[in-house]
Structure 1
């Protein structure tokens, strides 16, 4: 196991301390979440999961972790997910696994969100990881040109055979290579105003706690504003 995978496993196992019997748990997508699912199954805690992708649903079936559809529950106690990049304010970029739409739906409907990452995912500012933007297929070329003109250096995500990658919800993903996102809130507002954009990979003011694997597992909590606490 590489150091990076060991850190993912450490963070995943540390997240178990926040999982209590009879919880409804949101289950993210990605390699770090896979470690969490395996640890969760081994711990044999009586929970029910709400998944964020077909891949995670299949993994849960293999591990005998019970799952329900998101619309069959009235709340989600806590969601455990990975992140492609996290900044010092616990804002992040997600969507490397092409599940950002469902991940954000589950996250927004969760009482608490925990991210599990290795040390390489933590940066002072966002932008080192390409920003995924989920778009409807119709007119995606127009958005691509628009992003090009803005200097976003977009790239349509493709499968190994060269065809566009299609998300579980039937959309395409345009990855934008921004290098440094100075104002993620302004960028999010801009993207949310573009017709044809379904969702973007900026997860702002969503993560409550990040668990970082390493020589010593580090847990950081986001300080909520007075407005958020009301």
Structure 2
């Protein structure tokens, strides 16, 4: 079924509200980046929870602070109770592709630091199998060497990441996500890629029409 932009926004809102209900007083919370997280931040602010947060991008940090949400430097929080973020794609077994907004390096670090990683999405994001390209972040140092070894990569015409990395997309084979993830992770000069394995994901909350679907993965968390 083709969704209108209003329907998609409604589904994002429902998923965000359901995720906000999981946040309790005293928690440390990782905040993702993207259009679905834009619905999460006001939902958190309306609940007036006593929480400390880490933001995965300057944009998220600014929006959260404008809403009165306490955002701390990541250097002050070594463990997070919960991380909540959107996704570009999610398969039935919990593989994700993230990084459309170029924040995947920080998003992955925040997700792996959290005891629970909650993915929120609208009904356009579930897919049967992942499709490329895969967002990647590269060191500027030795960039030509890294590109040659990676193969089919295009650089994005966007600013560097907040950490100085070059944002690009990998267009190589994606038959086996785990094998592709291992190849990318093993390439010197590649900082991080946008393939998130199922064992990182605790729960997916997907807005579908006027309801939410909750998928419990409990993958290694």
**TM-score, scaled to structure 2:** 0.91
In 1, are the aligned partners of 2:30 and 2:82 still within 8 Å (CA)? yes
| Contact 2:201/2:218 (8 A) holds in 1 | no
Contact kept, 8 Å, 1:127 with 1:177, in 2: the verdict is no
What is the aligned-residue RMSD (CA, Å)?
1.6
Could you say what secondary structure the match of 1:213 adopts? strand
Counterparts of 1:210 and 1:93, CA distance in 2: 14
Which position in structure 2 is the counterpart of 1:169? 163
Q: Could you tell me how far apart the structure 2 residues matched to 1:77 and 1:206 are?
A: 14
TM-score (norm 1): 0.88
Deviates more, 1:1-10 or 1:39-48: 1-10
Q: Secondary structure at the match of 2:36?
A: helix
Counterpart in the other structure of 2:138: 135
2:7 is equivalent to residue 28 of structure 1: no
Are residues 74 and 133 of structure 1, via their aligned partners in 2, closer, same or farther at CA, if it must alter by over 3 Å? Answer: closer
Secondary structure of the structure 2 residue equivalent to 1:59: helix
> Which segments of 5 or more consecutive residues in structure 2 lack a partner in the other structure?
none
2:14 maps to which of 10, 22, 38? 10
1:121-150 CA distance string (max 9 Å, x none): 11011115x2111101122233333333xx
Instruction: Quote how far apart the aligned CAs of 1:41 are.
Output: 0.6
Q: Residue 125 of structure 1 contacts residue 181 of structure 1 at CA under 8 Å; is this kept in 2?
A: no
Deviations 1:185-226 (A, max 9, x none): 1111111111100011111121110110122210111154xx
- 3-state SS in 2 of match to 1:7: helix
Name the counterpart of 2:44: 40
Aligned to 2:119: 115
Distance 2:109 2:170 in 1: 22
Q: Distance in 2 between matches of 1:120 and 1:146?
A: 34
SS across alignment from 2:80: coil
For this pair of structures, how many residues does the alignment match?
Answer: 215
Specify every segment of 5 or more residues in structure 1 that has no aligned partner in the other structure, as ranges: 160-164
* 1:77 partner SS: strand
> Distance between the aligned counterparts of 1:223 and 1:75, measured in 2?
18
Please give the alpha-carbon distance, in whole angstroms, between the structure 2 residues aligned to 1:28 and 1:46.
19
Q: 1:167 to 1:74 in 2, by over 3 A?
A: closer
Bigger strand fraction: 2
In structure 2, what is the Cα distance between the partners aligned to 1:68 and 1:82? Answer: 21
Give the counterpart of 1:187 among 168, 180, 185: 180
Report the Cα offset of residue 4 of structure 1.
1.3
Contact 1:144/1:174 (CA < 8 Å) preserved in 2?
A: no
